[in-house]
């Protein structure tokens, strides 16, 4: 197995302290948002044999296993991250596989450069994802019931929000949510900035259920995404709890440290809370306008101590082991590729000693035993 040397991405929303604290190093004062573990060409993990992209390309079947290559092709189908949100991320959705294939083909036909700031589809893949909290973790996930969203907006006492409140009461759920989100994102920017300012003052004054939106507005003053965010469920995860984000589900991470895993894609359609491109027509094609419960996941334990976060897709499978002092070793040998990440304590994976934030890549079929006292996350695929 290969010890991984991973890139930390300095996105502006990143915490300046959470990842350094996990790694046991001094903060640099700069934001450290994500640490990537995998073979994404944008920031592949490095090994003693070269980048993980190079290692896999040299012999895909040896590294990934014949079944994984037959199912997903000669590429690692998932990307594992440590995510540290010090400020809200953009409000966003991801396409399903068919939408991604169609969108990518269309933009290729139109000759839009893949690095153009107004391009929506960087690849032809979908991007389901799972976030598991390491600390208390706040986020937005899925639409509220329209009547509940109407009550939240109405409680602000802002006259310019009244039309949205009326629309949320006047239509069936999917039509109501579609019409209101469209109106918010299409509103006159100057008028919307004034509405957001009034709503921000009310959220700050009222606190309670409005407090998360006051904080969002502090980071994104005047952004229509502040109002759009109030259409979504606010959820607070405790350590060990997780959220699965499927295609078309609007969401945003607000604060906290977590382990994130996703299909190996970079396709994002933004709804707000960002200076980046917002393509309203394409967004409306992808969003699923249906109220939903956030669906907090808790791991299901097996007899051998593995705690699995069950999801409905095959590109990734995330689980964890919480190893007690003096406990037995666990054999994790599997005929699919794996990344093992330590998040607490000290554990041994094969010949490698891992401390928090350290990880290894385990090729398919490679003997893999873990022992020690700590927590290990295991990322692999289902074939």
Distance from C-alpha of 284 to C-alpha of 249, rounded to nearest angstrom:
12
Q: Residue 116 has which token pair?
A: 């153009």
**DSSP of 262-326:** EES----EEEESSSS---HHHHHHH----B-----B-PEE-TTS-EEE--S-SS-EEEEEEEPTT
Query: How far, in Å, CA of 265 to CA of 288, rounded?
Result: 20
**Catalytic, out of 270, 317, 320, 378:** 270
Residues in CB range of 124: below 8 A, 6 or more apart: 100, 101, 104, 105
Dist. CA 185–CA 225, nearest whole Å: 8
> In this structure, are residues 291 and 249 in contact, taking their beta carbons and an 8 Å threshold?
no
Residue 270 appears among annotated catalytic residues: yes
Q: How far apart are CA 102 and CA 75, in angstroms?
A: 21
Q: What does the H/E/C string look like for 329-381? A: CEECCCCCCEEEEEEEEEEEECCEEECCCCEEEECCCCCCEEEEEEEEEEEEC
Residue 363 Rama label (left phi>0; alpha psi -120 to 50; beta): beta
Give the other-Cβ count within 10 Å of 119's Cβ. 16
Q: What one-character-per-residue DSSP string does 166-229 give? A: HHHHHS-HHHHHHHHHHHHHHS-HHHHHHHHHHHHHHHHHH-GGGHHHHHHHHHSTT-THHHHH
Are the C-beta atoms of 322 and 134 separated by less than 8 Å?
A: no
**Element containing residue 55 per DSSP (H, E):** helix 52-58
Catalytic residues: 270
């Amino acid at each position: 197995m290969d010890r991984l040397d991973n890139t930390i991405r300095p996105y502006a929303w990143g915490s300046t302290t959470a990842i350094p604290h996990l790694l046991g190093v001094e903060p640099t004062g700069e934001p450290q948002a994500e640490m990537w573990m995998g073979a994404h060409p944008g920031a592949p993990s490095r090994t003693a044999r070269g980048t993980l992209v190079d290692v896999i390309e040299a012999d895909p079947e040896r590294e990934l296993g014949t079944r994984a290559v037959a199912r997903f092709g000669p590429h690692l189908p998932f990307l594992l991250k440590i995510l540290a949100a010090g400020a809200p991320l953009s409000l966003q959705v991801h396409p399903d596989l068919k939408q991604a294939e169609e969108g990518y083909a269309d933009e290729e036909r139109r000759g839009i450069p893949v690095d153009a700031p107004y391009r929506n589809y960087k690849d032809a893949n979908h991007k389901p994802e799972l976030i598991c909290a390491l600390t208390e973790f706040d986020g937005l996930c899925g639409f509220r019931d329209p009547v509940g969203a109407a009550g939240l907006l109405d409680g602000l006492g802002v006259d310019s929000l009244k039309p949205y409140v009326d629309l949320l009461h006047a239509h069936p759920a999917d039509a109501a949510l579609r019409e209101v989100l469209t109106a918010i994102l299409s509103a006159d920017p100057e008028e919307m900035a004034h509405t957001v300012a009034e709503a921000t003052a009310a959220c700050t004054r009222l606190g309670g259920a409005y407090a998360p939106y006051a904080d969002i507005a502090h980071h994104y003053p005047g952004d229509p995404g502040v109002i759009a965010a109030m259409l979504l469920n606010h959820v607070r995860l405790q350590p060990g709890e997780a959220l699965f984000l499927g295609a078309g589900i609007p969401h945003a991470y607000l604060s906290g440290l977590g382990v994130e895993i996703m299909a190996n894609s970079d396709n994002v359609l933004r709804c707000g809370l960002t200076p980046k491109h917002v393509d309203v027509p394409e967004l409306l094609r992808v969003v699923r306008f249906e109220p939903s419960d956030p669906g907090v996941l808790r791991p299901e334990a097996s007899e051998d101590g593995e705690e699995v976060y069950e999801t409905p897709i095959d590109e990734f499978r995330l689980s964890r082991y919480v190893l007690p002092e003096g406990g037995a070793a666990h054999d994790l040998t599997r005929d699919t590729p794996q990344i093992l990440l330590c998040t607490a304590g000290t554990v041994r994976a094969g010949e490698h000693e891992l401390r928090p934030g350290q990880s290894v890549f385990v090729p398919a079929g490679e003997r893999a035993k873990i022992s020690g006292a700590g927590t290990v996350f295991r990322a692999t695929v289902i074939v």
